[in-house]
Structure 1
Amino acid sequence: MSDRPRDDAFTTPHFESAALVVIDVQNDFLDGGSSPVPGTSDRLTTMRTLIEAFRAARCPIVHVIRLYEGADVDLVRRAALLAGAPIVKPDSGGAQIARELLPSPDVQVDAALLLSGALQPIGDREHIMWKPRWSAFYRTTLQRSLADWGADTVVIAGCNFPNCPRATIFDASERDLRVVVAEDAISQVTSDRLADALGLGAVAMPARDIVTALRVAS
């Protein structure tokens, strides 16, 4: 399934200026959660390996999460949530990021801070960010933050490729960012879904190759 970096001056990843965007890896979306996404728990070890490599390279990491409260949610989920569906509610255990991915077991999501639009720092060049819809760029400061960090390449990992990762990939492409899909660190990846991303100029790589590329770049 992998598509190795191509000899293209405009789409080839720059790993020396890459940021990792980890999407929606929260307890409610894991096995045993209130709204589990198949395959997400199985990919936690690979996600952790990728995150640790970005920490070692001192490259930016953004854990992008959902917090469902009131009517500020996707239309397709609004009826269920207004009826009281207990999914990633602010300050709930289900809204917390999978502990395997955190720099410290003491880290807790600060819902009030995130819902205000601010980033929550949790480590050296590592933050949590809330997004209200599918894409990590919609009504967030992600684009500005990437520019501030000098990042022109985003590596996408996390939960449920056909929804939030795919929307983020499309929006990253619209912003002229180089995009890497960590194909074995995202749940619900299929060949057809991945082909859509590759058609936009994204590059698909397994986590082990991304880790190697980071080491070479640093």
Structure 2
Amino acid sequence: MRQVTLLDRSEMRAALRHQLEMDPARTAVILVDAHRGHLDPAVATMPVAREDVQRVREALTRLVHGARELGVMVVHVVMIHRCVPYPGAESMANPFWRAVEAARQSLTPDRPSTISRHNLEGSPQTEILPELGPEPTDYVIRSKKRLSAFYGTDLEILLRIHRIETVILAGINTNTCVLCTAFDAFNRDLRVVVAEDAVASMYGDDLHIFGLENVARCLGWVLPVDEILNHLRTRTAVSDAGS
């Protein structure tokens, strides 16, 4: 395989930082699969690497707490599969996922995982991380079945009702569910921001980096949680000063 060098687009990214405008009243934090099935090593059926767990959980907590303080809407989107007579778990209707299970392979390098038993309805894996809520002001969507948080859910309608213009994405996995959601948000002309320290990939660091680079160079902004919150606080302070 041909060796590829990661291009340095830091100048582009720095220039785009100055173009970012986020109105807290028109912004939503969307937590994509920030559940125990990925981020609780005690029960995870598709675990991220243990060294990523604490980093991501702490960043997610800072993000949601800061967002709520600024009046930013928080939406939890959780993948849940029913058990049905055929093909068993709803996930097994997908030919690639079915092939991975049949070949007895793991999507998580060097760690055991299961697709057919991942996030089954009523299982502890489907529970939102306790430090993230949900709070009474949050919204929870539990109809996600595939990679995008938009596909087969009412997320788009919820965002439209609240006149959301910017989505801040965080959760698991950087290169699949978060990236797929970023594409779908971009295609709906939403401003896309990914919280780079509040995402991880169970597939490996290489695909985590790929996911972040793909967003930053093609779809939107990739920023750490603290910088995202500072952007929002600055806009809030300007609005308060003008009122």
**TM-score past 0.5 threshold:** yes
Judging changes above 3 Å, is the alpha-carbon distance between structure 1 residues 173 and 89 closer, same or farther for their aligned structure 2 residues?
same
TM-score normalized with structure 1 length: 0.80
Instruction: Tell me which amino acid in the other structure corresponds to 1:179.
Output: V
Residue 44 of structure 1 corresponds to 57
The higher relative CO (CA closer than 8 Å, separation ≥ 6) is in: 1
8 Å contact kept, 2:81–2:119: yes
Residue 163 of structure 1 corresponds to 176
Judging changes above 3 Å, is the alpha-carbon distance between structure 1 residues 129 and 41 closer, same or farther for their aligned structure 2 residues?
farther
Displacement of 1:151 in angstroms is 0.9
User: Matches of 2:98 and 2:132 in 1, distance apart?
Assistant: 29
Q: Does 1:93 align with 2:124?
A: yes
Runs of 4+ in 1 over 6 A off after TM superposition: none
Deviations along 1:5-33, one digit per CA (max 9) or x if unpaired, are 4454xxx3423221000111111212232
Q: Which secondary structure state, in structure 2, belongs to the residue aligned with residue 123 of structure 1?
A: coil
Instruction: Tell me which amino acid in the other structure corresponds to 1:19.
Output: A
Judging changes above 3 Å, is the alpha-carbon distance between structure 1 residues 138 and 13 closer, same or farther for their aligned structure 2 residues?
farther
For residue 37 of structure 2, the aligned residue among 28, 34, 43 is: 28
8 Å contact kept, 2:29–2:167: yes
User: Matches of 2:21 and 2:169 in 1, distance apart?
Assistant: 12
User: Matches of 1:67 and 1:159 in 2, distance apart?
Assistant: 14
Instruction: Tell me which amino acid in the other structure corresponds to 2:22.
Output: H
Structure 1 unmatched ranges of 5 or more: 104-121
**Which one has the largest radius of gyration?**
2
Residue 219 of structure 2 corresponds to 201
Displacement of 1:199 in angstroms is 2.7
User: Matches of 2:213 and 2:141 in 1, distance apart?
Assistant: 28
Judging changes above 3 Å, is the alpha-carbon distance between structure 1 residues 162 and 192 closer, same or farther for their aligned structure 2 residues?
closer
TM-score normalized with structure 2 length: 0.72
Matches within 5 A, 1:12-91: 12-16=20-24, 17-30=26-39, 31-32=41-42, 33-38=44-49, 39-69=52-82, 70=84, 71=87, 72-73=90-91, 74-78=94-98, 80=101, 85-91=116-122
Displacement of 1:84 in angstroms is 8.8
User: Matches of 2:190 and 2:151 in 1, distance apart?
Assistant: 15
CA RMSD of aligned residues (A): 2.4
